[in-house]
């Protein structure tokens, strides 16, 4: 091969033929071939390896019971009728929708300070991380020595999160709690029976 | 028939001809029937005039089945090529692409598919046989040729009548236009160094033994001239090379697998070349005419993607890349190989509307820019300073086009699956719009909706899908390959109609020829047509082209086959010192 390699410089439109061919070009716009039907939603803190962003506006404060041995974050919503009867078992959480880099959405349950204003460092550092995640891609890892979460911000922030259109917190609550039997709304709920030694 | 009434005449045409391997065709006869009046014109060997006996201007429509054959007849007779061509082969392929056609895609297959009678095989074969005997044809033979040709015209007319209502005329005319371009390219052919070819053919038996001995000393995979799977397995183990396996657990020894692995692992390349050369008898079958030009039917629209599918053994741009060293310009002329840079990446970026991907293409080095966008290299990285990372990201981009998964990517790059998953994740994060678009293409096709290019080439996954193609990975790459094929067709039309001497189209590249003192100007002209073709297909988004010029007495070479070519030439010099001493 000779050393006559060179780049070809683009030229102006060649003649009316280009316009003619362009005129018979079909619109390649795609019709969505599938519609994603959400069937489940998790309510738990982000995994230690995933970078996440928190939705800037959607959030909901709820009363819930936290089950420590549950792998799914262990929250059960408490219906209004049961608030009074559950006493200290009831904790307040802010649920914040978040999304990871592959587009999976979840709810992040962030424990709120007790009525007397006390809040441990785990909960406070989680709230700080969630607030930061509104603006930046971050990940969190727990550090027992520190007694709280460590926050890591991605150096390469990449693209902004693609929030699904028409996000609806009520639908998310239904998927995460109601559809999964995670709403405590009567004294006969197995969780209440367990708490009161009736199970 | 939508749009067909705009034509004053509709001529259905068929021709017979003699065309030994590599030679230009010698017309035997041509028959045409005008559909509205029913008038028939026949011309046979010895009676051809200087102009066609039917209209070829803008008022007439020319209908045939595999029109480049008829266009070859026009070129041989010095007749102008028709202005408006509808090729029923191309239209049949569009209508059935991806579906089973029980009797094939030839004229008989198309007739059978539509439930139409056709001339029987018993009638057809003698007619073709007479044509292929070559000139001169006697009086009785000419009558037989005309009868045979007329029956094909009648069959083609019946097929047109059946297919016309569903033909998308503007796009069909574009496909017909390409068949004329294909005929011009087949007519030109590619110049071949026939002296070297003749010596190679003469010495090939000895050379292949020498080649195996020389190449295999680094591999130890042959016994005699037989490639041994067990020995290859030992070679892979010795060198720590991961190799894909079949479901049975056996090593996958398909040529495509060798080709893929050789891309990222150059040590495999010579082994692939020798296996390919030995198995295909490529030298013997290469079609070279008495004018030292390689000519092979381009088989336009043969692939699912609409790409050409010329014979791998007859066409000089078949997979044995080392043999491309036989391409050599004639004295006082030069060749230029012009290709679109990162064509599939550019098409994916533009058609998906992924702005970051388009920005990466515009950067001039999409693979390095992808690495930069993903934060894997610093902003001031260059192809030289971060070659390995760039190559890695390039492999990811190319792999994603075919739906490559983490395990395969890990094997290809020699990295762990944790790393390969992270790379694929980077791609999804960097180009989310492309990923959604690409997945939607797969969903569209697999749910039974046709995938279309911007010029209407269509692929349908249906109930009668050809089994080998029922593969989401094939579907995933369809938009890039098929729209790339449209781009190539446009460029070939623009160039051949304006007098550029195109020797051959090669998927994302075009080989042209010109007098040595005009080659630079012709490269600029061709580059302009290729840029225009990209703008047309991609709605204004322009792809770059690169060109390599080969001047006499240099020869064409492909980096992938250079080592093999040098080896063969060294052995040839040893075997035939008189010619190559």
- Burial of residue B238 (CB within 10 Å: 0-12, 13-18, 19+) is exposed
Query: Which of B175, B353, B442, B531 has the highest number of chain A CBs within 10 A, making it the mutation to test binding with A?
Result: B531
Decide the pairing of beta strands A6-8 and B509-515. Answer: unpaired
Residue A107, number of CB atoms within 10 A of its CB: 29
**Residue closest to A92 by CA, chosen among A58, A125, A127:** A127
User: Which residue in A6, A18, A162 is closest to B536 by CB distance?
Assistant: A18
Residue the block writes with tokens 């010619």: B579
pTM value is 0.84
Q: Exposed/middle/buried for B217, CB within 10 Å: 0-12, 13-18, 19+?
A: exposed
Nearest to A127 by CA among A173, A96, A160, A99: A96
Q: What is the ipTM of this complex?
A: 0.84
C-beta of residue B320 within 8 angstroms of C-beta of residue B277: yes
Judging contacts by C-beta atoms under 8 Å, the chain B residues touching residue A11 are: 524, 527-528, 531-532
8 A C-beta contact, residue B113 and residue B96: yes
pLDDT-derived band at A191 (thresholds 50, 70, 90) equals confident
pLDDT (average), residues B232-239:
92
Cis bond leading into B136, ω under 30°?
A: yes
CATH topology of domain B4-188: Nucleotidyltransferase; domain 5 (3.30.420)
Most A CBs within 10 Å, among B492, B494, B536, B556, to test the A interface: B536
C-beta neighbour count of B269 within 10 angstroms: 22
Query: What's the CA gap between B435 and B427, in Å, rounded?
Result: 8
The pLDDT tens digits of the residues spanning B13-37 come to 999 999 999 999 999 999 999 999 9
Contact B88, B105 (CB under 8 A): no
pLDDT recorded at residue B279: 63
Under the banding of pLDDT at 50, 70 and 90, the label for residue B578 is low
pLDDT tens-digit readout, B314-345: 999 986 888 999 999 999 999 999 999 999 99
Query: CA dihedral defined by A160, A161, A165, A166, rounded to 10 degrees?
Result: -110
Specify the pLDDT at position B25.
Answer: 95
Q: Kindly state the helix (H) or strand (E) to which residue B30 belongs, with its residue range.
A: strand B26-34
Picking from A27, A28, A159, the nearest residue to B356 by CB comes out as A159
């Amino acid at each position: 091969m000779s050393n006559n390699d060179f780049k070809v410089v683009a030229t102006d439109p060649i003649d009316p033929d280009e316009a003619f061919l362009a005129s018979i070009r079909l619109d390649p716009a795609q019709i969505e071939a599938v519609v994603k039907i959400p069937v489940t939603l998790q309510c738990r803190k982000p995994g230690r390896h995933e970078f996440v962003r928190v939705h800037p506006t959607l959030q909901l404060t709820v009363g819930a019971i936290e089950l420590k041995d549950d792998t799914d974050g262990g929250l059960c919503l408490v219906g209004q009728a049961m608030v009074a009867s559950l006493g200290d078992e009831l904790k307040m959480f802010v649920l914040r929708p978040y999304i990871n880099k592959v587009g999976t959405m979840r709810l992040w349950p962030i424990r709120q300070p007790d009525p007397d204003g006390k809040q441990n460092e785990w909960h406070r550092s989680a709230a700080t991380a969630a607030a930061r995640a509104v603006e930046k891609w971050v990940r969190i890892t727990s550090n027992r020595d520190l007694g709280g979460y460590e926050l890591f911000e991605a150096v390469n922030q990449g693209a902004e999160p693609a929030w699904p259109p028409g996000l609806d917190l009520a639908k998310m609550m239904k998927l995460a709690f109601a559809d999964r039997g995670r709403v405590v709304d009567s004294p006969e709920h197995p969780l209440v029976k367990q708490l009161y030694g009736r199970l | 028939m939508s749009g067909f009434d705009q034509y004053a005449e509709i001529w259905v045409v068929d021709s017979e001809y003699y065309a030994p391997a590599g030679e230009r065709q010698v017309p035997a006869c041509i028959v045409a029937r005008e559909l509205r009046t029913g008038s028939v014109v026949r011309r046979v060997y010895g009676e051809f005039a200087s102009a066609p006996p039917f209209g070829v201007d803008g008022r007439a429509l020319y209908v045939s089945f595999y029109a480049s054959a008829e266009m070859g007849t026009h070129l041989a007779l010095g007749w102008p090529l028709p202005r408006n061509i509808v090729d029923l082969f191309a239209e049949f392929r569009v209508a059935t692409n991806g579906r089973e056609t029980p009797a094939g895609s030839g004229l008989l297959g198309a007739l059978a598919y539509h439930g139409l009678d056709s001339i029987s095989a018993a009638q057809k074969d003698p007619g073709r046989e007479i044509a292929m005997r070559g000139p001169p044809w006697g009086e009785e033979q000419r009558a037989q040729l005309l009868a045979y040709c007329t029956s094909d015209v009648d069959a083609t007319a019946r097929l047109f009548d059946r297919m016309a209502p569903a033909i998308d005329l503007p796009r069909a005319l574009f496909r017909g236009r390409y068949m004329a371009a294909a005929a011009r390219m087949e007519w030109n052919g590619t110049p071949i160094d026939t002296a070297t070819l003749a010596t190679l053919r003469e010495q090939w038996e000895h050379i292949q033994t020498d080649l195996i001995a020389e190449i295999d000393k680094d591999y130890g995979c042959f016994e005699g001239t037989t490639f041994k799977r067990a020995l290859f397995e030992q070679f892979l183990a010795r060198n720590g090379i991961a190799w894909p396996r079949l479901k049975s657990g056996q090593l996958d020894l398909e040529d495509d697998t060798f080709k893929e692995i050789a891309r990222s692992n150059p040590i495999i390349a010579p082994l692939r070349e020798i296996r390919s050369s030995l198995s295909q008898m490529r030298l013997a079958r290469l079609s070279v005419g008495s004018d030292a030009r390689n000519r092979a039917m381009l088989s336009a629209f043969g692939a699912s993607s609409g790409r050409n599918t010329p014979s791998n053994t007859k066409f000089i741009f078949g997979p044995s890349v080392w043999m491309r060293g036989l391409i050599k310009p004639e004295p006082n002329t030069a060749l230029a190989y012009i290709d679109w840079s990162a064509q599939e990446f550019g098409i994916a970026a533009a058609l998906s509307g992924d702005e970051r991907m388009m920005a990466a293409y515009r950067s001039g080095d999409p693979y390095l820019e992808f690495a930069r966008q993903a934060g894997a290299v610093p902003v001031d990285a260059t192809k030289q300073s971060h070659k390995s990372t760039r190559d890695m990201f390039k492999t990811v981009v190319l792999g994603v086009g075919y739906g490559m998964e983490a395990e395969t990517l890990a094997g290809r790059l020699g990295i762990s699956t944790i790393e390969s998953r992270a790379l694929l994740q980077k791609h999804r994060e960097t180009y989310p719009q492309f990923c959604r678009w690409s997945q939607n293409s797969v969903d569209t096709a697999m749910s039974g909706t046709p995938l279309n290019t911007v010029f209407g080439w269509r692929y349908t996954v249906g109930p009668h899908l050809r089994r080998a193609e029922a593969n989401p990975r094939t579907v995933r790459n369809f938009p890039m390959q098929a729209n790339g094929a449209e781009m190539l067709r446009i460029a070939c039309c623009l160039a051949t109609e304006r007098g550029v001497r195109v020797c051959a189209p090669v998927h994302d590249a075009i080989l042209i020829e010109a007098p040595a003192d005009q080659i630079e100007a012709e490269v600029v002209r061709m580059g302009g047509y290729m840029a225009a073709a990209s703008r047309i297909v991609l709605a204004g988004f322009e792809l770059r082209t690169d060109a390599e010029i080969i001047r006499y007495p240099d020869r064409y070479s492909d980096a992938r086959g250079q080592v093999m070519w040098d080896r063969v030439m060294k052995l040839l010099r040893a075997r035939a010192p008189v010619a190559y001493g």
